[in-house]
Structure 1
């Protein structure tokens, strides 16, 4: 699997990723740690190559909005989780099919031909977890029965492009816990391979089931296409401004919905209130930051929008049932 990325600001700057479909290592896993520095853009990548899977954790400092042209010389099947930041993708020559993946949301996608433009919003630190599957391995997970995935499985079988939700599915606490488990895996060699494979399969199952449940819940909702687009725009604005959130009145003006319709539609479409969603995003980001001992608990509290660390500690315990310091004691 070869992927070529070109930064549109610096046409001569290219990244070529060659990923083997089979892992020759006796233990069945290859681990890579990479760093890149380019015109103020600093990135760290931790990657695992397993048979039929490529898992990459990205952490990139983006001092400005950045665009990258990407091309892959084989079909692309990926589960993309945007842990912190914002990404959009426009396939070549098909701007109507553009997709947006806001902060703390994910997307499952299949493209027989991957070529187009990736856009990343300015961010102190953008973080993502990306899992690429070979078609053979992905199909084997479902015992060769892709029909269980409905339209998504049918598209893979027919080699047709498909995005499971063009706006991204918000990441549940269960999904974020699996991400933390993947990041903090302490096993080595064969045990690490077995552990990561099981966690990625769990991640895939939970993500797909969450998305299917959301599709069922939204089937009976009577919202116009224009209103749904405005509600997704509201969610995107909320996700980009969790440190200094909009008031309901401000958000209503920004997206062009009255406050009653905004609050009611947001709850029905996304299964949570606007302020509940803000709290979920803050707690999710805090949980990921707690893994890094370089950040004090007080610093994390301020970073996710709390002026008082004690208020942050109380909110974190209410969300996850444990104190922030317990996360570090268990790692």
Structure 2
């Protein structure tokens, strides 16, 4: 499997990976940084003969085209965490990528043009598996080997990007982020990642089962899918504290529809969900940052407001947690 990112306007490669060059059962980790006057990018990459993990962040002041290509058969799991680029697949199929949509596809020898507008921040996470590794990983997993996507891969039936997608949830986002933070001996990382992949697909199976409108909800299918996308967006951008008005405009719903629909589906208000995510995140941040820094990272304009929210949520102050 070969994966390449070539930036057209800058006439340079961001990365070029050939997984066949890696020794069996080992992983290579790389961090690649590009710093040009009008464009910066950072890619964190972990790859073996069987898979490749990519986490890339762009910050560009000019329009940039990323000519992204994959050689060989592959399974792709990916989602966008920031930006709204347009992707052109194999010179035929153009689609606008949306934040928080988890995409799953099976394809071969793909070339894509990812178009980023000027003044855009763009961030994505991609996980690629070889077909052989994917089948080997899940063929004895009773909870997944009966899945329709797995059966298609086993039969060699391709499923293009955009055909199978779900709104991302907090658990899956955290699990994929954690793949890039594993601290373990190098000779054990390959094996730990296999376990992590299985955990991710357990949650994908659950997400797939939950993607249909429950019969007991007094809400339309269209509203249901729109609100799930809002939930995915908030999951990724809770630190920005998006307002109900902003989210309603994004979902093309009125504020009352969004407010009541969200509570019906998730059993919690949007505001309470944002606070919950901030508080859950704050514990890990406080292990590395001061109270002031943590409050700033989480989008609080006032440190005292953060401390008050923390105490209300946990029954203790941030300083007491630290000590």
- Relative to the length of structure 1, the TM-score reads 0.72
Q: Identify the match of residue 309 of structure 1 among 297, 303, 313.
A: 303
Q: Identify the match of residue 138 of structure 2 among 138, 142, 146.
A: 142
**Following TM superposition, by how much is the alpha carbon of 1:134 offset from its aligned partner in structure 2, in angstroms?**
0.5
- Give 2:27's aligned residue: 29
- Aligned residue runs from structure 1 range 103-118, under 5 A: 106-118=102-114
Which structure 1 segments of 5+ residues have no match?
none
Which structure 2 segments of 5+ residues have no match?
none
Count of aligned pairs: 319
Distance in 2 (CA, whole Å) between partners of 1:85 and 1:254 is: 14
Distance in 2 (CA, whole Å) between partners of 1:106 and 1:321 is: 35
- Aligned residue runs from structure 1 range 171-320, under 5 A: 171-172=169-170, 174-179=171-176, 181-206=178-203, 208-218=204-214, 227=223, 230-231=226-227, 234=230, 243=240, 245-248=242-245, 251-252=247-248, 255-268=251-264, 273-279=269-275, 282=278, 296-312=290-306, 315=309
Contact 1:101 1:168 in 2 (8 A): no
Distance in 2 (CA, whole Å) between partners of 1:326 and 1:43 is: 38
Contact 1:62 1:123 in 2 (8 A): yes
SS in 1 for 2:105: strand
**Following TM superposition, by how much is the alpha carbon of 1:136 offset from its aligned partner in structure 2, in angstroms?**
0.6
**Following TM superposition, by how much is the alpha carbon of 1:60 offset from its aligned partner in structure 2, in angstroms?**
3.9
SS in 2 for 1:73: strand
SS in 2 for 1:75: strand
**Following TM superposition, by how much is the alpha carbon of 1:102 offset from its aligned partner in structure 2, in angstroms?**
1.2
SS in 2 for 1:245: coil
- Give 2:158's aligned residue: 160
Q: Identify the match of residue 80 of structure 1 among 67, 78, 81.
A: 78
- Shift in CA distance, 237/175, structure 1 to aligned 2, threshold 3 Å: closer
- Relative to the length of structure 2, the TM-score reads 0.73
- Shift in CA distance, 117/298, structure 1 to aligned 2, threshold 3 Å: farther
SS in 1 for 2:188: helix
